Amino acid sequence: MLRFFRQRKGLTKIVLWCFIGLLVLSLGIVFALPEGRTMLGSLGPISSSTTIADVDGYRITVADLRNQIMMYSSSQQQGSGGQSRDVNALYPQYGKQALDALINQRLVQRECDRLGIDVSTRELQDRITPMFRGANGEWIGTPAYQARLRGIGLTVEGFEKSLANDIRQEKLQSLMTSGISISDAEVEEEYRRTNTTMKPTYVLVTPKLDAVAAGTPEELRAFFDANSEKFRVTVPQRKMTYVFVSQDALGRTMQVSDDELRPDYDPKKFTSAVHVSKIVFKIASKSLEASVRTKAEGIANRARGTGEAPAEDFAELAKGNSEDAATAASGGDAGWLEKSAVPAGDPRERLFTMEAGQTTAPIKVADTFVIFKVTERRERSFEEAREELLPSARARKSYAKGVEIAQQVETRLRASKDPAAVAAEINSAEGAPADAPIAIVRETPFAQPGDTIPEIGSNPQFEAEIADLQNVGDIGSPVGITGGFAVPMLADKRDPRVPEFDEVQDRVATAFRTDRARQVARQTAESLTAATSPTELIAKAKAAGFDAKTQENYKAGNTLPEMTASDLLDGVLLGLPANSVSKSVVEMPNGFVVLAVNDRIEPDMGEAFNTQKEPIRNRLESTRRNQFYTDAMLSMRKKLEEDKKIVIYQDTIDSAFDIGAEMDLDAFGTDGGVPGMPPAGAPPQMPMPGGGAMPMQPKPAQPMPAPVPAPPAKK
C-alpha cells in the first residue's frame, strides 16, 4: 500500500489522502453516535427503530413515540366516534407530552435495572387474569382475551408491556418509599385539624383601583427603576406577520342551493304556533303550593295514562277540575299560542317541541300550575324558514372553504415568503371585492406566551404553532382564530431581557396603581385587627366600607365565600380561641383577610378518634410517599438533564413526522392497535368493552416476552 502511494504524484496523491481522511472521519462519527443515529443511516429513510431520544443509554425510538401518541389519541377519542389513524397528523397535538412521558418511563426503567427490579410471568398473569373473567368468574380463555383487546384497539404485546411496566413502577415506588412512616403525633394533629368545628367571622379587604390616583411620570419612572426585574422578559418575544383568511368574508360570498338547505330543515324546529288545551290549578298561598302540585300531578297522570290505566278524556278532566272559568267550559280549549308571544326562558317554550296529542306534567306559570295538551301544530314551510337556515349553512360551507384556502396560503407562503403577494393572489383567485377581502395581511406586536394579542386574543393553539418558529421567515401551519384562520410567519424576535421603560410604560402604570391599591388595602386590613371581638370587627369593617361575614360549621379544608381553600387561613383560625380576633392579616390573591372566631367545638378524641386513626395514617402516608417518589424522580431527571445525559434529536423527530410514508410501519402490528392512555391529569384508565374501565398506568417498558396468561386452576 505504501509503495502504491509512493508511485502516485502531485494532485492524485492529495486526492487519495483526502478520500482516506474523509472515510476515517465518517467511521468515527458512525461509531460515536447512538444506535440508530449514524450519519450513514440518516442518509436513508428513517425507520421505526431510529433513535429520537436517549436517556442515559436507554433509547426512545420512532416506533415508541408513534405508539405513545396513539395511546393519547385513543384515550382522548374514546367514546367520541373514532380516532385518527394518521399519527403524523396527531403529532402536533400529542407529540411533546408523549415524548415527555416516554422520557419519564425510561427513567423508571433505568432505576429498576439498577436496583434489579423485574416482573415475573406469574406476576403478570396474576394481574391480567382477574381483569378478564367471564360471567361465571372463570378466565375467559386466550382467544377471547385476544379478541377483547382487539375490540378496543389494543395489541396483546402492547397491553402486556404496559401492564408489566405498571407493576415494575409499583415495586420501584414501594422500595424507594419503604422507610416513610407517619407518627402518632402527626395523626392526632391531622385529626384535630380536620375535625375542629368553628364559627369564623372574616373581612376581605380588596384593593380598589379607583380609590388611588394614577402615578405621575416621575413616579412611574421611579417605580420602574426600583422594580425593573419584575418587568423582565424571561422568554423570547416574537412578532408575527400572518395572513388572515376571513370565514365571515367567505360566508358572505357562499351561494347555498335549496338542495343543500333541505337536509337542515326539520319542521319541528320551525313550529310557529300550537293549539293547546289546559287545566289550571291556582296557588292560593305559598304554604299550599306543595299540595296544589300534588293534586295537579294526579290529574296529569290521569290525562296521560299510567301503567295499565288508559288516558282519560282531557276535555272532561278540564271541565271537572280546571279553575280557569274562561276555558273550563270549553273542555280547556285555550286556542292558538304563538311562539313569538312566548319570551325566552318561559316554561311554555317546551310546548313547541311536543307532538299533537301529547300532554305535559304540571308547569308552574306565575301563581298557577297548568297542564297543557297540544292538539295541533302550525309549522313554517321550508320557504318560510329558508332565511333562518342560511346562516348556519353558509358558516358550514365557509369553514370548509376556509380550511382549503388556508392550506393554499401556507403552500404559497412557504414558497414566496411574501404575505402581501399571497393575499393578493388569493383575493384575485376568489374574486373577493376590494372592500371585503378574503385574505388579509396582519401583524402582531412583540409578544410572549400568555399575552393577549390584538385580534387573536389569548389563543393556546396559536402560541403552540409559533413556538417552534425559530428563524425569521419560518412559516407555521394554519390555526383557527376568531372569525377565520391565521397562517403565521415569523417577522422578528427578541431574546429575554429587561425592556426599556418606554416599551412597558402601560404595564408599569397598571402595576404601579395595583401596588398602591394593595398597600392601601393592607393598611385598612391591619387597622381592623385592633378589634377585640368578632362583634367589634363587624362594626369596624362596616365603618371602613367593607362587609364582615360569618360562616357556620367551618372545618379546615373547607372554603370561605370569595376565597379558595387555604392552609394559611386554616392555620390562623385553628390557632384562635373562641371570641377572639387575629392580630395579623392573611394575604390572599384577591385581597387581605382579617379573621375572628366566635365559637369553636373541639373534636372527640375518644372512640371517634380511635376509629379514624388508621385511615388517617394511611392517607397521610400515601400522600407523603407519592410526593417523595415524584420529587425523587423529578430530581433524577433534572440531574441527568444538567449532565447532558438526556438527549433529544428533534431534527430526527421532525423528519420522521414529515415523511410518514417512508416509515417502517410493520413494526406497529397489523391492526395498529396500542394501549389506551388517559388524557394528562386524568386518573389512568384502560377502556373495556361494554363500559367500565380498569386502572392502568400507561408507561410502556422495553419489550418483554410475557405470555398470554394461563387459565387459573379450578378450585
Q: Which three cell numbers stand for residue 193?
A: 385539624
The torsion angles phi and psi of 603, rounded to 5 degrees, stand at: -75, 160
Q: At what angle do helices 289-304 and 314-321 cross, to 10 degrees?
A: 150
Q: What is the dihedral of CA 311, 312, 315, 318, to 10 degrees?
A: -100
Q: Can you give the pLDDT at residue 389?
A: 76
Q: Which of 692, 463, 657, 647 is CA-nearest to residue 69?
A: 657
Residue extent(s) of CATH 3.10.50.40 domains in the chain: 266-381
Tally of CB atoms within 10 A around 319: 16
Report how far apart, in Å, the C-alpha atoms of 201 and of each of 205, 549, 578, 628 are: 13, 5, 11, 37
Residue indicated by cell numbers 369553514: 399
C-alpha cell at 131: 381483569
Which of 290, 291, 320, 289 shows the shortest CA–CA distance to 303?
320
Pick one of 3.90.1200, 3.10.50, 1.20.120, 3.30.70 as the CATH number of 197-217+505-601.
Answer: 3.10.50
| Distance of alpha carbon 247 from alpha carbon 242, whole angstroms | 15
Helix axes 607-642, 156-176, angle to 10 degrees: 110
Low-confidence ranges of the chain (pLDDT < 70): 1-45, 74-86, 152-154, 658-715
C-alpha span between 656 and 52 (Å, rounded): 9
- Give pLDDT, residue 688: 35
Tell me the DSSP string of 309-322. Answer: BPPPPHHHHHHHH-
Q: What residues contact residue 603 under an 8 Å CB cut-off, 6+ apart?
A: 191, 192, 195, 196, 197, 609
Backbone angles phi, psi at 664, to 5 degrees: -85, 80
Start and end residues for every CATH 1.10.4030.10 domain found in the chain: 37-192+604-715
Question: What secondary structure does DSSP assign to 124-170, as a single string?
Answer: HHHHHGGGSB-TTSSB--HHHHHHHHHHTT--HHHHHHHHHHHHHHH
The set of residues, in sequence order, having a beta carbon less than 8 Å from that of 474 and lying 6+ positions away, is 489, 490
> Which is it for strands 368-379 and 363-365: parallel, antiparallel or unpaired?
antiparallel
Which pLDDT belongs to residue 591? 93
Give the tens place of pLDDT for each residue, 511-560: 999 999 999 999 999 999 999 999 999 999 999 999 999 999 999 989 99
pLDDT for 205: 95
Q: Give me the pLDDT at residue 693, please.
A: 35
**DSSP symbols for 408-419:** HHHHHHHHH--H
- Give the whole-angstrom CA distance, residue 67 versus residue 160: 14
Residue 66 in contact with residue 80, Cβ under 8 Å?
Answer: no
What is the residue whose three cell numbers read 320551525?
A: 270
- Indicate the length of the chain as a whole number: 715
C-alpha 497 chain-centroid distance:
32
> What is residue 75's predicted lDDT score, i.e. its pLDDT?
66
Q: Which three cell numbers stand for residue 526?
A: 391591619
Select from 97, 85, 84, 91 the least CA-distant residue to 477: 91
- Under 8 Å CB-to-CB from 514, ≥6 apart: which residues? 207, 209
Count the helix, strand and coil residues of the chain and give each as a percent rounded to the nearest 5: 50, 15, 35
Helix 87-115, helix 62-76: angle, nearest 10 = 110
The whole-number pLDDT of residue 635 equals 94
Q: What top-level class would CATH report for the domain 266-381?
A: alpha beta
pLDDT for res 670: 33
DSSP letters of 36-96?
A: T--HHHHTS---TT-EEEEETTEEEEHHHHHHHHHHHHHHHTTTTT-----HHHHHHHHHH
How far is residue 113's CA from residue 39's CA, in Å, rounded to a whole number?
Answer: 30
232 is written with which cell numbers? Answer: 423582565
Q: Which of 396, 398, 387, 391 is nearest to 249 (CA)?
A: 398
For 303-362, the pLDDT digits (tens) are 988 877 889 999 999 999 999 988 998 999 999 998 888 888 888 888 888 888 999 999
Q: What is the CATH number of domain 37-192+604-715?
A: 1.10.4030.10
* Grid cell 386554616 in the structure block, residue: 570
Q: Is 3.40.50 the CATH number for 231-257+386-501?
A: no
User: Which of 214-251 are b and which e, b meaning 16 or more Cβ less than 10 Å from the residue's Cβ?
Assistant: ebeeeebeebbeeeeeebebeeebbebbbbbbbbebbb
Question: Looking at residue 322, what is its pLDDT?
Answer: 93
- Distant-in-sequence, close-in-space partners of 94: CB < 8 Å, separation ≥ 6: 68, 69, 72, 73, 76
C-alpha cell belonging to residue 325: 272559568
What CA–CA distance (Å, rounded) separates 282 from 288?
10
Q: Which helix (H) or strand (E) holds 114?
A: helix 87-115
Query: Can you tell me the distance from the alpha carbon of 361 to that of 300, in angstroms, rounded to the nearest whole number?
Result: 6
Give alpha helix (H) positions in 356-436: 382-416, 419-430
In 554-649, alpha helices (H): 567-574, 607-642
